[in-house]
Structure 1
Amino acid sequence: MVDHPNAILADNLAVGYTSGPEFLTSVVSLSGGFEARNQRRANPRWRFDFNIAELGVTEIRQMRDFYVGRRGPAYSWLLRDPWDCQLIDETIKVATGGETTAQITKTYDASGHPYSRPVRYIKSGTLAVYIDGVLDGGATQAAGLITFSSPLGSGDVVTVGSPSAPTEFYFPVRFRNDFAGLQMQSQSANWGSIQSFDAQEVLE
């Protein structure tokens, strides 16, 4: 469970970073040019390396205050990644019949070697659940666990989000560093850049 679920980095600050999934794989070169690979982390962990230049003093202070409020890396919080924040026609379940709940998941590389991960933090007001393409207006969710308005029938396909009404979600993250690097421009104290506000996903 994320420590500070109401702490969501503002959209104007959640930009200007390098992001993506990070695995932990050891690769050993063998004689003859072959390799032995050991996947030491089965699940990727997203990381977010901030490097924002040309921020005004107001934004710098906002980021500093947010960092201090989390006590650096001590407490987890929520981040909206503009590159990966929506569920659109995301199939989460094919029912056998009688189910009343289902966990929201997002699947990557669905037609190749799929990887699915649970999505637990949904942006308020964006949940849209469809059963065989029909909106279930009475569906609710808590920590990404959907409760349907009525039990599912055999073969029902449950999807989340649509092109016209995407369901948005957040990553649970924490800061990686105990030092917040804020670099002041030499020409003016009213402008600066963020150097070491890196964050990483907290796996749950």
Structure 2
Amino acid sequence: MSGADIPIRDAATTIVLRRGATGTRVLMGMRGEQAVFMPSKYVFPGGAVDAADALAPLSRPLAQLHIDRLTAEPRHGAASPHAIAAAALRELAEETGQLIGQADGPVSDWPGYAETRLSPDASALTYIFRAITPPGRPRRFDAHFFAVDAAALSSDPDDFSRACDELSHLHWVPLPEVRALNLPFITEVVLAELAELAGSVTYDTPLPVPDTVPFFDNRGHAPRFSQII
């Protein structure tokens, strides 16, 4: 299969920021050296949207502004904003063991949520970035990046015992030090957006919603950069 023929799948990523008086840290993990996609790279937790994510119960939905931005431009996949938000929360739980949930909604059967009797909560997610993998890669994704403050976690932020083995070296990295890691190019770009977003407010105030969502569009023959309003 040529690079142009590789299907583009919807994917979701959750970027957890742990903010405090001494600065901001971000949760990162390293992909295995045998991984087909981005081996040995440090990444945010995330992955492809599964068909079952469309039916995943959520205690609270994604905010309407983020739903509107997710549907502002066409996508190759058929995943709904609900499914994309659910995938972001599911992948976070699977790859790190970290949960964002409420006790007053339908209980999920996802690992971590099932044991704690929590319902995943998408209302804390902020949509901040979209990027489509360029042609020529072994896998291609229409990736949607969400930021969330660690204060929204329902789990111990230092307990990764429930994490699967897809990511290793899970730890909170000071934001100014992240770029010293072995990172994919798009992760570096997203980190620049994160630094600006987190730096625009004090640590004891909520993360702001960006005015626009940057979009790296690699669907055509030439890359296109735009801003989703």
Q: TM-score, normalised by structure 1?
A: 0.24
Bigger Cα Rg = 1
Q: Which has the higher strand share?
A: 1
Q: TM-score, normalised by structure 2?
A: 0.23
